[in-house]
Amino acid sequence: MPLPPSIEEPGKQSWLRMLYRYRLQFQAMTSASTIFFAGGLKLAWCIFEKPVSGSQTLIDTHLLTIAWFVGVAAGAIMAGAFVHRVNKNISHGTSGTLLLLGGLLFACAPTSFACILCSCLLEGSAYGINQVQGLVTAGEVAHKDIRGLLVSSERVFLWLGICLQLFCTRLWFLYEPTKGYPLHLNQLHGTVVILVALCALACNTLYCFESPLLLHMQERDLAATCVMNRLQSTSYTSAELTQKHEDCKQMLEHDARPMARKAVRKSNSLPLLKMLLLRCYGTISLSLPVNRTFVTASMTGLNCATNCVYLLSLCGVLGSVMGALCVDICGRRRIAVICLLFSGTCAFLLAGVLRYIYEQISLVLLTHLTFELVVYLMWCYQAFICAGVSLISSVYMSEAFTVSAKACCLALVVVCEQFVQIALALLVFYTDFNEPHFFFIVGVLGMLLGILALFTLPETMKISLYECLLKFNNVP
């Protein structure tokens, strides 16, 4: 069947009017976004802060640091097995329930190492399931003009959760009374997670929008038409809806062709490799080495008596929001290339300044100014990574793969991302970690990936999912 061209409706709508028209598509992502927010809370607790439990042994602290990532990997593997085989509400309901159990363990036993470890694993599993299901759903329910913005909710809400956790922790210690608080800090964290989990379950019940593509897979064409009408706030079959139906049918036919297995493997291999490289590079900004370096630099450069890493999280929020607002206007590839090159440049500069500090520390007269420069460079690095690498990789992940392989490919990318985080944390714990060498390698990777992205990433802005699939296999 020939590919129908993307239809541009007459009378281009304003941005706010378009957001209002497609508001139900954002509502379809509320449950997933809420769990992304909870993931940010736990990620901040594990990596941006020092995990607190009744056990003070070093190995227990290390286990709590990496437990959430292990849970995310396990959740992603589970999601790869049943996403696109069951309704999305089952996936989101499972994620919300696991999140609720994790929050209850945290609130009820705030000093028990075993309970806190289980809580991290449960919440990580909830996030892993939700991440795979959320990226699949967002790509399939979104209108082509706002698909980038809708998928960006994953990164935006993750960083909002990180920021809230760090702000609350800072205020907790800043205004701590002499006699201390009646609550343990972990109980406050657990209570917030419980509220977020209840909110996610409520949203999952209230906004029951299934993916039209899944309904077509189940041969429920009438239900698919009804859902499309609701998601686009229209009760008639417009040219746009006709194109959406054709897009769904063509994506399903792509998997059903003769010799489909070999064709599917071929059409997913290169996009999978590209997403692995992009996503694993982007996750470095959330890693333990980056946060440890910032904490050290901010204590001297900004005279922080307590942890000032919340300032780094603010750069993450601002970068993610800016990227979300620009991704459907400036295009995916352009933003990715610019931010990869600039983040690589910032990492190179960081490596040079840190090497100068460590090798010439006795000759540095204004140490606080030198560390202040490190802080500013890390702010820029974080903003560029969040705006154009992590966020753009999320958008590409929702567009890149065939229907039958999408969940498994996304799960594989998420698992590799967690392995990178765990490996970097273990390097910090058990090796003589060299920050200048680390940032030099990051800088080289950023520059190389920026050049590769220029020639190997397609531009998928404002085109249908089937057209995205074709572009990934025939990059212009």
Q: Give, as one character, the DSSP assignment of residue 361.
A: G
- Mean pLDDT on 98-121: 92
Q: Is the pLDDT of residue 193 over 90?
A: yes
Res. 129 pLDDT band, cuts 50 70 90: very high
Q: Give, as one character, the DSSP assignment of residue 362.
A: G
Total-model pTM: 0.92
Among candidates 320, 318, 310, 379, which has minimal Cα distance to 167?
310
C-alpha 32/C-alpha 27 separation (Å) is: 10
Confidence at residue 10, expressed as pLDDT on a 0 to 100 scale: 44
Confidence at residue 432, expressed as pLDDT on a 0 to 100 scale: 86
Which of 326-335, 358-367, 368-377, 467-476 is predicted least confidently?
358-367
Confidence at residue 181, expressed as pLDDT on a 0 to 100 scale: 78
- At 375, phi and psi to the nearest 5? -60, -45
DSSP string, 67-80: HHHHHHHHHHHHHH
Tell me the HSE value of 352 on the side-chain side, using a 13 A CA sphere: 10
- What is the amino acid identity at position 86? V
C-alpha 103/C-alpha 107 separation (Å) is: 6
* Topology of the domain covering 23-209+257-473: Growth Hormone; Chain: A; (1.20.1250)
Handedness of CA 33, 289, 174, 372 (dihedral sign): negative
Q: Is the pLDDT of residue 259 over 60?
A: no
Tokens of 178: 């002499």
Mean pLDDT for the chain overall:
86
Q: Is the pLDDT of residue 8 over 50?
A: no
- Crossing angle of helices 332-359 and 435-456, in 10° steps, is 160
Q: Is the pLDDT of residue 257 over 70?
A: no
CA distances from 394 to 100, 114, 208, 239, 408 (A): 26, 33, 23, 29, 15
pLDDT digits (tens, 9 = 90+) for 337-355: 999 999 999 999 999 999 8
Cβ atoms of residues 418 and 73 within 8 Å: yes
pLDDT digits (tens, 9 = 90+) for 153-177: 999 999 999 999 999 888 888 887 8
DSSP string, 195-212: HHHHHHHHHHHH-----H
C-alpha 469/C-alpha 460 separation (Å) is: 9
* Ranges of each domain in the chain: 23-209+257-473
Which of 21-35, 46-60, 97-111, 272-286 is predicted least confidently?
46-60
Cβ atoms of residues 340 and 453 within 8 Å: yes
Confidence at residue 147, expressed as pLDDT on a 0 to 100 scale: 92
| Helix ranges, 284-431 (H) | 288-301, 310-326, 332-359, 367-385, 391-399, 403-430
C-alpha 282/C-alpha 465 separation (Å) is: 24
C-alpha 227/C-alpha 235 separation (Å) is: 10
Among candidates 254, 387, 364, which has minimal Cα distance to 315?
387
Cβ atoms of residues 117 and 52 within 8 Å: no
Residues above pLDDT 90, as percent of the chain: 50
Tokens of 168: 């609350």
- Say whether 304 sits in a helix, a strand or coil: coil
pLDDT digits (tens, 9 = 90+) for 29-71: 999 999 999 999 999 999 888 776 666 678 888 888 899 999 9
Confidence at residue 42, expressed as pLDDT on a 0 to 100 scale: 94
